[in-house]
Structure 1
Amino acid sequence: MSSNPLPYNLYSALARRMGEKAISQRLRMQVEHAASWFGKGFGHIHLENLDSFVNFVDTVLRITGMRDKGRSNSLDFKIEKNTVSIPGLPEQLDGFKILHLTDIHIDGFIDRGEALLASVAPLLCDICVLTGDYRLLTHHSHKASATGMSRLATQIKTRHGIYGILGNHDFIEQVPDLEESGVRMLLNEGQSIKHNGAEIFIAGVDDPHFYGTHDLDRAFRSRPRGIPTVLLSHSPELYAEASARSVELYLCGHTHGGQICLPGGIPVITHAACPRSMTTGSWNHGNMSGYTSRGAGCSGVQARFNCPPEITIHTLRSTGGGS
């Protein structure tokens, strides 16, 4: 189940940041969600977290002789490079690099995350963003994922720090451990970053997919007028609202790109209420660029097919900037 109730002083501090309504709703849903695993009904259950479903898929892979290949694929990380052209981007921000990790599920790796850490260690970017789902399950203790995320954070090298949001697998109780590891969590919050004399605004909202506790107005309330904005959301489902608020770049995950896909990377299941074109890779809506990462980890079954795990580097370019 969920960890012990939040101490009042911690609850108050998080409520000031996230919003009283959002944190109350999240905590209520966390309790209901955890309770569903202990005989009180199914509620909003994710198939990938049902032991019977995971065991069924794993058995099918064993019988077909595909299990070992799927497990090997789950550690075959691809570094994807995505160039984002932004009209009016200040020259000082041309070439600004964002390391993007999502759906890490770090306590589920068959190698304890060693391959991911080794892949991330040589990279140097201006900032790193984490778009949620740090643990594998949505119930029981999150301490194993806290240990894993702390190890990962020590391998991330950036000029301006690490910023993160929560996903639908994460509980609010994970925030103190993540921040102690050096991740600045954005709980319906935003942060201006100064780079070479220019500014860029990083906003982050709470999970819109399961909890529905996102608050874009709150996340943007400290945004200076006219500076380029990057929005972190766990899933792509806020694309229309974000575009209407003059967001230049929307970064997300959640879908795993399908994780187990048909040849050609065609996902069978995406678990996102948005156009299918937005469930993996780069996309656009209006004047806003978006990117949905396939994610670094696996959900449920530790296997991938036609959908390699992803580490993404986004490079911002002024319109007409070099490659």
Structure 2
Amino acid sequence: MSADEASLVNRLEQRLGRLHARQRLGIEADHEAQIFGQGLNFFHLENWYSVHAVIRGVFKLSGLYWRGLRNAADVRVRITDLGFAALPSAFEGFTLLHISDLHVDMNERAMQRMIELLPTLTYDVCVLTGDFRGATFGRFDRVLEGMQRICAALKPPVYGVLGNHDTIRLVPGLEDLGVRMLLNECETIARGDERIYLCGIDDAHFYRVDNIEKAASDIPPASFTILLSHTPEIYRQAAHAGFDLLLGGHTHGGQICLPGSVPITLDSALPRRLGSGVWRYHDMTGYTSVGVGSSVVPIRLNCPPEITLHRLHRSVPRDQ
């Protein structure tokens, strides 16, 4: 282990605890070994890099590739109005800017368009729900370089969680850029003498190192709570744990969809109605972002990229 790697591991152990850091780093090492043919291969389209060029070629032959490339840069601002009976009165109109699935190092035009949009937006808190990098292994220098540009355009505070594409090694660099990463942790947000609680969990899709119980352990009963999770797959656990709002991404809304934004596949163990946009499960409201970036191939069809402003209200909105 090099001196730089040892220093980074030491920072992670101090920040997250020795067990969490070692567990995550160990799973990542196993994953990279599988990618390069050691042991049982982890079959997943995102990791089957030999076919990515074939997929691009198929879209180019079909004539859809260049249109999809333009679509992938057409980042849009979406606004939701979400109503909650439990929202403290001081937080009426509280607005979260929700950004997901950046895949910074493979979506330069989308990143530039988003950076142009950010100064025009008004919000109280920004939340980033994971998948900062395009690959699922390897170096991440370009990711942090891209995130430096993005963070310079964001207004604090900024909170984030990791996704299934992200190495835990990104955490120190992201926090140095001003992103408070929530890894099975919770932050209190205060307005006057009223509070809401923002929790975040580590990746629940591939790494399976999420721990909702730990994240929510210090929250007082009957509090208003928001959970950040890269994948919405943990919607059942989150709802039964009493969270009021779950914000996630991961699905890309399908990324390549049929007309009418009907996804061909969601690559997630989710009912289709939870695959994008606003949804409800029992007493919990959820929102699944289709994301800013793209994965496998840098194109989108019938599924434009988005950043989202969630405005919280004490009354139930008419169109929810």
Same fold (TM over 0.5): yes
Task: Name 1:309's counterpart in structure 2.
Answer: 305
**Alignment partner for residue 185 of structure 1, among 181, 186, 192?**
181
2:269 aligned with 1:273: yes
Q: Which blocks of at least 5 consecutive residues in structure 2 are unaligned?
A: none
Q: TM-score, normalised by structure 2?
A: 0.93
State the Cα distance separating 1:4 from its structure 2 match: 3.7
Task: Name 1:295's counterpart in structure 2.
Answer: 291
Matches within 5 A, 1:97-136: 97-111=95-109, 113-136=111-134
Runs of 4+ in 1 over 6 A off after TM superposition: none
Q: CA RMSD in A?
A: 1.9
SS at match of 2:82: strand
**Letter paired with 1:14:** R
SS at match of 1:316: strand
Percent identical among aligned pairs is 38
Q: Which blocks of at least 5 consecutive residues in structure 1 are unaligned?
A: none
| Contact persistence 1:110–1:302 (CA under 8 A) | no
State the Cα distance separating 1:322 from its structure 2 match: 9.6
Matches within 5 A, 1:1-323: 4=5, 7=8, 9-16=10-17, 20=19, 22-41=20-39, 43-111=41-109, 113-158=111-156, 161-319=157-315
Q: Following the alignment from structure 1 to structure 2, what is the Cα–Cα distance between the partners of residues 102 and 276?
A: 19
State the Cα distance separating 1:51 from its structure 2 match: 2.6
State the Cα distance separating 1:309 from its structure 2 match: 0.4
State the Cα distance separating 1:10 from its structure 2 match: 1.7
Q: Following the alignment from structure 1 to structure 2, what is the Cα–Cα distance between the partners of residues 183 and 316?
A: 22
Deviating more after overlay: 214-223 vs 110-119 = 110-119
| Contact persistence 2:35–2:41 (CA under 8 A) | no
Q: Following the alignment from structure 1 to structure 2, what is the Cα–Cα distance between the partners of residues 283 and 45?
A: 30
| Contact persistence 1:93–1:196 (CA under 8 A) | no
In structure 2, the CA distance between the partners of 1:209 and 1:150, relative to structure 1 (3 Å rule), is same
| Contact persistence 2:183–2:201 (CA under 8 A) | yes
**Letter paired with 1:137:** A
State the Cα distance separating 1:112 from its structure 2 match: 7.3
**Letter paired with 1:10:** R
Q: Following the alignment from structure 1 to structure 2, what is the Cα–Cα distance between the partners of residues 150 and 246?
A: 35
In structure 2, the CA distance between the partners of 1:173 and 1:6, relative to structure 1 (3 Å rule), is farther
In structure 2, the CA distance between the partners of 1:300 and 1:264, relative to structure 1 (3 Å rule), is same
In structure 2, the CA distance between the partners of 1:213 and 1:245, relative to structure 1 (3 Å rule), is same
**Letter paired with 1:98:** L
SS at match of 1:251: strand
Q: Following the alignment from structure 1 to structure 2, what is the Cα–Cα distance between the partners of residues 266 and 320?
A: 27
| Contact persistence 1:124–1:157 (CA under 8 A) | no
| Contact persistence 1:135–1:142 (CA under 8 A) | yes
Q: TM-score, normalised by structure 1?
A: 0.92
**Letter paired with 2:79:** K
State the Cα distance separating 1:6 from its structure 2 match: 6.0
State the Cα distance separating 1:196 from its structure 2 match: 4.4
| Contact persistence 1:105–1:299 (CA under 8 A) | yes
Deviating more after overlay: 260-269 vs 29-38 = 29-38
SS at match of 2:238: helix
Q: Following the alignment from structure 2 to structure 1, what is the Cα–Cα distance between the partners of residues 166 and 316?
A: 40
Q: Following the alignment from structure 2 to structure 1, what is the Cα–Cα distance between the partners of residues 261 and 318?
A: 30
State the Cα distance separating 1:285 from its structure 2 match: 0.7
